[in-house]
Amino acid sequence: MAHQFHSTVLREYDIRGIIGETLGPDDARAIGRSFATLLREAGGRTVAVGYDGRVSSPVLEHALVEGLTASGCDVVRVGMGPTPMLYFAEASAEEVDGGIQITGSHNPANYNGFKMVFQGRPFFGEDIQRLGRLSAEGAWPDGAGAVETREILEDYIERLLAGLAGIDRGALADVRVGWDAGNGAAGPALEALAARLPGEHHLLYTDVDGNFPNHHPDPTVEENLADLRALVAEKSLDFGVAFDGDGDRIGAIDGQGRVIWGDQLLSIYAEDLLIRQPGATVIADVKASRALFDQVAALGGKPVMWKTGHSLIKSKMKETRAPLAGEMSGHVFFADDYYGYDDALYAGVRLLAASARLGKSVTALRGAMPAMINTPEMRFQVDESRKFSAIDEVRARLADGPAQVDGTDGVRVTTDDGWWLLRASNTQDVLVARAESDSEAGLERLMAQIDEQLALSGLERGAQAGH
């Protein structure tokens, strides 16, 4: 029986919608049938399935498993946990050919969705559109797949702890860290991990609650770090780490309460990596600070600026064989001693490891970074039909000008004052802007250039759009 998805749920990087309005069990069942069809066509058969702590997740998981088995795939159910635990199940088990995590990520409690991996690679873009077309046709084979439940939390924790391999645990005996799971799916895994880490660890909100009663689980928004900052200050901790709702994005603050943004975390990881792998490629998205790219180059590495989006970054990593990549949004990807996917718990372990190997506190590493003046990520509404064409117009106008223009993802313009970025979101009807300078006056001039280009295309920054 054919199935038509709501027009808003098939996104660039994943499938996402509002429970009871645009997404429900029938969608989950159709996703299972179509994913199984594609996997079997490609010679695969077994799919790992996990889910996050949202209230709607168990119902969607049940329907998804029904769909997968009805089209002849075997299912390994790994239960509730962070998205990277599902990725681990797919990457570490030889017989597993694909994986699906049911998660609403950092969206509000009434959202949910699906993140997928297909034979070791991200499943996104055209893959998701093809899944939608298959569902609309209902061209599914019938089958009767088997289902098994597998406990993998212990194996996953063991693998996370391997991030400290080669480090004298005595060097971390006195470290004191705060952790905030935000009532997300990473909570139980964090409890198990922290119990086995060297040092002293203080945990917040590890009980899983899909209503997120304490704060929204998005660690890239500074107000969501308030409780962690208070904990670090109250107990004089060395630093603090926070996770998003499904544990694939990291946020952090140092011992002085300063936010360590995604590109700054990547800078710390790069400094640690490049000592061990001289000349390695490090990828960051177009929203990252110039200071990061300069730092990687100064350390002898090869900085690569790439498109925003975790699936796009993962694909670029495979292509360039980069051992490290990251985004401003807190996705960090380790492929040197790990699997190349984004895992915030592993990123937390690697922050401990970097501090130990470099012989510097996280606060000192953050304090050594140049003081750039930059805007947060600004998002503003624009009609869906205009968002890409407006960027094309800006690019065309600037093509022959004096400024240096990078068109990797939108338009990133470098001038004597610094740089500014304008790009179209792949997942929403918004344009995203950011600017960075080393002076307030320079930042004002950069912002004026953004406003001028928008005005020439009949747009204005206007009201900020939410996520």
Could you check whether 15-152 and 175-367 share the same CATH topology?
A: yes
Output the pLDDT for position 466.
46
Residue in 71, 105, 135, 267 annotated catalytic? 105
Element (H, E) at 422: strand 418-424
Kindly report whether the global pTM for this prediction surpasses the value 0.85. Answer: yes
Q: How many residues does the chain have?
A: 467
Cα angle value 55/59/60 (rounded, 5°) = 100
CA dist., res. 433 & res. 380, Å (int): 8
**Spatial contact of 353 and 273, defined as CB atoms under 8 Å apart:** no
Q: What does CATH list as the number for 175-367?
A: 3.40.120.10
pLDDT at 384: 84
* Domain residue spans of the chain: 15-152, 175-367, 373-456
**H or E element at residue 406:** strand 404-406
SS3 category, 197 = coil
Q: What is the pLDDT of residues 131-147, one digit of tens each?
A: 999 999 999 999 999 99
- Contact of 241 with 252, CB cutoff 8 Å: yes
Respond yes or no: is residue 315 known to be catalytic. Answer: no
Predicted local confidence at residue 403, as pLDDT: 86
The pLDDT confidence band at residue 402, using thresholds 50, 70 and 90, is confident
Residue 48 has φ and ψ, to the nearest 5°, of -85, 140
Residue 426 in this model has a pLDDT that exceeds 90 = no
The pLDDT tens digits of the residues spanning 56-90 come to 999 999 999 999 999 999 999 999 999 999 999 99
Q: What percent of the chain has pLDDT over 70?
A: 99
Query: Could you give the strand order of the β-sheet that contains 281-285, starting from the edge strand earlier in sequence?
Result: 302-306, 281-285, 324-326, 332-334
Question: Is residue 324 within 8 Å of 270, Cβ to Cβ?
Answer: yes
Tell me which long-range contacts 454-458 makes (C-beta under 8 A, separation of at least 24): 454/390, 454/422, 456/393, 456/394, 456/397, 457/386, 457/390, 457/393, 457/394
Decide if 143 contacts 70 (C-beta within 8 A): yes
Which residue type occupies 217?
P
Residue 227 contacts residue 214 (beta carbons within 8 Å)? yes
The maximal CA–CA distance of the chain, rounded, in angstroms, is: 66
State which amino acid sits at residue 101.
Q
Q: Domain 15-152, CATH 3.40.120.10 — does that match?
A: yes
Q: Which CATH class is domain 373-456?
A: alpha beta
State the amino acid at position 453 in one-letter form: Q
